[in-house]
Chain A
Amino acid sequence: MVAAVLGGDAERFEVIVRRYQSRLFATARRYARRDDEVEDIVQEIFLKAFGKLSTWRADAPFDHWLMRLAVRTCFDFLRGHQRNREHSVTEISAEEEDWLERHAAAPESSDVDGDAARSLIDRVMEQLSPAHRLIITLLELEERSVKEIASLTGWSVPLVKVRAFRARAEMRKVLSRMTREKYL
């Protein structure tokens, strides 16, 4: 299929798009919230893939190559939208505030399936720096290994470890800012 596209049959690329589009949409939604941004990211990934198809070596799985491209495109998106990530604590919704109160009262019985918990983690992630958001997403949410993250991002293994440590610290800082006034 890839050989056919490289041979000049661009129409065969549609098979690749159909096969991987849902997976890439799920990936892009971890980094962007608005539908138009998510669509732009996935489109960018496919166009980059089409342009760089000749760099794929057949001895490695195609989906690894594509995911590497996807992660780097998402990281570029985060860096490009860095200015928009600053949100004040006052933006916490009533539901999120209720959830935090319930968690403070009974941490062991916190509801992790509710919308409030989900929107709270989105809010926390939006306040992290691009590199830290990427590392938390890959390491903590997608539960990938350090070696795998190094391969996806192009960073060295020690750099991934250092950034993971700093990312967790930054995340605690954000959570601290959110809860300081009310609960600490």
Chain B
Amino acid sequence: MNLDQLQQVVLEAARRNPPEDRVPYAFEQRVMAQVRSRAREANPDGMTWLVGFWRAALSGSALALLLVVANGLMPDPGVSAEGDLSAAGLEEILMASADPAGESW
């Protein structure tokens, strides 16, 4: 038997019959479960805590900013006519020290 010829024939048989590309049922789900597990390993607990802390800090800052803005828009219940008088009184007290001494008596 001619071995070179036999070799060519079996190789041709293999070329004409390529392996099938069938994928087992739910294969991607099994791979993704492994991927998620690896991703968790790559992102250790300390990092998870840090990410959580950072998110909480951002949320807290946003809430504080919102409260400041809301406070600025709302009318201040402490500012009233009496409040205005108090301001005028403060001005009078401050200006009194600048008045000439002769006029005081």
Contacts and interface: CB of A to CB of B under 8 A. Distances in A.
Interface in B1-46: 1-7, 9-24, 27-28, 30-32, 34-36, 38-39, 43
Interface in A123-152: 124-125, 136, 140-141, 143
**Majority secondary structure, B binding face:** helix
Contacts of A107: 1-2, 5-6, 9
Contact of B32 (A14, A124, A141, A171): A14
A51 interface: yes
Interface size class of B (residues with CB under 8 A): 20 to 34
A30 to B, nearest CB: 6
A10 B9 contact: no
Contacts of B43: 8
Interface stretch (A18-26, A59-67, A81-89, A154-162): A18-26
Interface of A: 8, 10-11, 13-14, 17-18, 21-23, 25-26, 29-30, 35, 39, 42-43, 46-47, 50-51, 103-104, 107, 110, 112-114, 117-118, 120-121, 124-125, 136, 140-141, 143, 168, 171-172, 175-176, 179, 183-184
Interface of B: 1-7, 9-24, 27-28, 30-32, 34-36, 38-39, 43
